[in-house]
Amino acid sequence: MNKIQTPVAAVVVMACNRADYLERTIKSILKYQNAVASKFPLFVSQDGSDPQVRKKALSYDQLTHMQHLDSKLVQTERPGELIAYYKIARHYKWALDKLFHEYKFSRVIILEDDMEIAPDFFDYFEAAAALMEKDKTIMAVSSWNDNGQKQFVHDPEILYRSDFFPGLGWMLTKPTWNELSPKWPKAYWDDWLRLQENHKGRQFIRPEVCRTYNFGEHGSSLGQFFRQYLEPIKLNDVQVDWKSKDLSYLMEDKYIKLFAEILKNAKPINGADAVLKASNVQGDVRVHYEDQPDFERIARQFGVFQEWKDGVPRTAYKGVVVFRYPPPRRVFLVGPKSFELLGIKSV
């Protein structure tokens, strides 16, 4: 009975100078974290010395406040760059080094000070932690889907593998951090993680329906994308019983076969007016794209993210981007090498 609970993961909220946002985030976390506090100890890591943020963090006895004071001058590498992105990267390295090396946690979940979480957020990450232990090809688990807007999602129980790091509420393990920490970049850490040389073919788990909601219209990225992509995100509102779910379908060897099978069964549609054609077909459909400009053109028609990083479109798995349109029908945007990568001979 007196067994000490080993934490699943530390949860850290990265904060700087938005005390009002931080309060909203902490309240959202505590709503669900109180019941599992021993499994998910809560930290706020404050970058800088904003007195309101410090006061707000210290007003909660359910969390530990850490403060990163860095007086070193920031030198941007290119003219016109925002210093904020350099400060953020420094803060992340400091906080993660502290949690993994000083506090000796085996996993850390990183949140930012402008996020609300879903009711099953902690159960989701607990189930995902077990999966990560079994499958070392999973580099991190995220609570975020870039194409998680209300009009593109349907099933809160479905998870996907992706070659694109989603961020925005994510968990990594100590061995992965030990590998990343010595070479951590000076700025733009999230895009750096999306480079092939850093993820080395490992993948990320993401949900169909987001487990975090980003309400941060005002911040370092100056509200970029907020109205189009962040505001319409659907935050999961149902309590999925993750403990009873068999997530072994997400193991690399099983998942590639499962995904290939689903893709093979989707009906191909070609030519112009993909959106119109997709709407008139029963069941799942697939649309093939030739290259990045072709993908961007098709993605624009549907209204999903057009962005690529290091040859990978956002949310893609083996070059395939999947979303619902209209739900529950799935649309697969399929790359020129996707069939080959998935081991599909011909359809």
Alpha-carbon distance of 274 to 306, in angstroms, equals 16
C-alpha triplet 288, 250, 168: angle, nearest 5°: 80
C-alpha triplet 154, 233, 210: angle, nearest 5°: 60
Alpha-carbon distance of 113 to 110, in angstroms, equals 10
Among the listed residues 263, 260, 148, the one whose alpha carbon sits nearest the alpha carbon of residue 211: 148
DSSP code at position 99: I
Question: With contact defined as beta carbons under 8 Å apart, do 171 and 345 qualify?
Answer: no
| Buried b / exposed e along 263-275 (16+ C-beta atoms within 10 A) | beebeebeeeebe
C-alpha triplet 237, 241, 247: angle, nearest 5°: 115
Written in H, E and C, the secondary structure of 164-210 is CCCCCCEEEEHHHHHHHHHHCCCCCHHHHHCCHHHHCCCEEEEECCE
Catalytic residue among 97, 114, 123, 190: 190
At position 259, the amino acid (one-letter code) is F
Alpha-carbon distance of 328 to 2, in angstroms, equals 47
| Buried b / exposed e along 64-87 (16+ C-beta atoms within 10 A) | bbbbbeeeeebeeeeeeeeebbbb
Question: With contact defined as beta carbons under 8 Å apart, do 170 and 125 qualify?
Answer: no
At position 72, the amino acid (one-letter code) is K
190 labelled catalytic: yes
DSSP code at position 271: S
The H-assigned helical ranges of 98-162 are 121-134
DSSP-based helix, strand, coil % in the chain, nearest 5: 35, 20, 40
Residues involved in catalysis? 190
